[in-house]
Amino acid sequence: MDLQSDPIEVSDETESAIREYHKNGASVIRGILDQKWISTMREAIQRVLDHPGSASVEYTPKGEEGRYYGDFFLWRRDPDFEEFMRHSPLPAIAAKVLKSNSIRFFYDQLLVKEPLTKEKTPFHQDLPYWPLKGEDILSIWVPFDRVGLQQGGVRFLKGSHHWKQRYAPTAFGKDSGFAEIYAKMGWEPLPDFEKNDNTYYWLNWETEPGDVILFHPLVIHGSGGNQSSNQRRRALAMRFLGDDVVWDSRPGTFIEKETIQEILPELNLKDGDQLESPCFPLIRTFSIQPETEIMKQNSFQENSIRNSSHE
């Protein structure tokens, strides 16, 4: 498959979305992915759903309706996920948002809520889950179905990324195996924002395949179940890192889970290290030219180390 990323024209709409991201903690960019990417990744997602990975989590209890499926580091075992990570327009968008000359990939996370799935995604901040320090961190939420609140669209607490408080991670499921790990952190739990829902201003968007949502690692966000009887909710969260990010070895992050460590056998970073590891590949280096509306690729660097876990 040849889906090389062309230089991106940064439209006025995209520039506006980037400004909104920095101000509000989340924003939407419409129609940035073409149908080739959507079709390819739908097929790739179905392969994963049919053959779950060793780090996958079934958040829906057995015997309940629907299916809430989560999985991590898909790019390491499926070539289409790797193509999407490296050659879609998303790395160039990340470079523009973060104003970084280099972009590394942290990981991809698949989150699928099939019709009539009751399970919610609890409100949380992302950064407390991760062994990272730095400002240049961006998540891009990529839907592969039409998604609104009824289908489990994500809601973001406007401006919450500006708060100084960081809250303890919340496990997405009771039996996921993460709760015991997160308890090591000893941080204050997240307040019950749903209880006083009307007190806050929430951002959410109805999205179509091809749209993406940018969101900050500290913005508070979560989603409901998929109440639809016939519409799927397939989405990828893509995590990109810029120039200033280093490893944080504090206890209680998701990387401690045994099933995650098993798929990252090369991981050997110490506190304060740059993330120079085949686990977190350098995707590209860019020449950032803010005086123009065109982001041109200055140079391209692929990590030459191919992980032996590729199928």
Task: For each of the domains in the chain, give its residue range(s) and CATH number, in order of start.
Answer: 8-295 (2.60.120.620)
Provide the pLDDT for residue 258: 92
Which of the residues in the chain have pLDDT under 50? 1-6, 289-311
Pairing mode, if any, of strands 121-124 and 221-223? Answer: antiparallel
b vs e for 39-70, b when ≥16 Cβ sit within 10 Å of the residue's Cβ? ebbeebbeebbeeebebbbebbeeeeebbbbb
State residue 13 phi and psi, 5-degree precision.
-65, -40
Distance (Å, whole) CA 109 – CA 121: 14
Whether residue 101 contacts residue 295, with contact meaning beta carbons closer than 8 Å, is answered with no
Provide the pLDDT for residue 185: 81
Whether residue 97 contacts residue 214, with contact meaning beta carbons closer than 8 Å, is answered with yes
Provide the pLDDT for residue 295: 37
Provide the pLDDT for residue 161: 97
